[in-house]
Amino acid sequence: MVNPRKIAYVTLLGRSEWALVNTYYAVASKGRKPKRVFVFTEKTYRDKLPRVVEAIRAISEAYNFMPEIESVVIPDNSFLEADKKFKELFQRLEKEGYTIGLDVTSGRKALATAAVVQIRDFPVDRIIYMALLDMDFPDRPYMMIPRHMQRLKNFLGDENVSEI
């Protein structure tokens, strides 16, 4: 049985660190407190992982929780490897009783597609994407971008996400 308090947050790191970090910030600010965070990225972007993990820790700490953070590096454009790794992770999380949230905002196509294909068979309660409506603000922290320029969407629920 899935425990709604046992939340795993799976996020995808692509070109934009800010897209991942700002989406995590938005989700945390709305009260989502995952026990575990998994950052998937491709080999090309692995050098960004330390900064992203540090930012996730800082944001989590600011909201009074401290998730376990793991990262997974996939060979570039390897849908099959990503598909395998997501399936293994989602099976493990399901057995451990987690509800899974997936953030595809920063993900490259191979990762995002593999994650969405695999997650359909597991206890997922949100697939999140944050759109940036004005590209004048791509590399700024969440709180420095006007809120009306950011649209947080849960593809499994309401367009106007109040509780994510």
> What's the pTM?
0.88
Residue 15 or residue 2, greater confidence: 15
Residue 92 or residue 152, greater confidence: 92
pLDDT confidence tier of residue 155, bands split at 50, 70 and 90: confident
Please check the confidence at residue 164 and state whether its pLDDT lies above 60. no
Please check the confidence at residue 160 and state whether its pLDDT lies above 50. no
pLDDT confidence tier of residue 141, bands split at 50, 70 and 90: low
Task: Please list the alpha-helical segments (H only) found in the chain.
Answer: 17-29, 49-62, 79-95, 109-119
What domains sit in the chain, N to C, each tagged with a CATH number?
A: 6-154 (3.40.50.10770)
Report pLDDT for 163.
44
Yes or no: say if 111 and 19 are a contact pair by the CB < 8 Å rule. Answer: no
Residue count of the chain, please give it. Answer: 164
Torsion angle of alpha carbons 108, 111, 115, 117, nearest 10°?
A: 90
pLDDT digit string, tens, across residues 60-69: 999 999 999 9
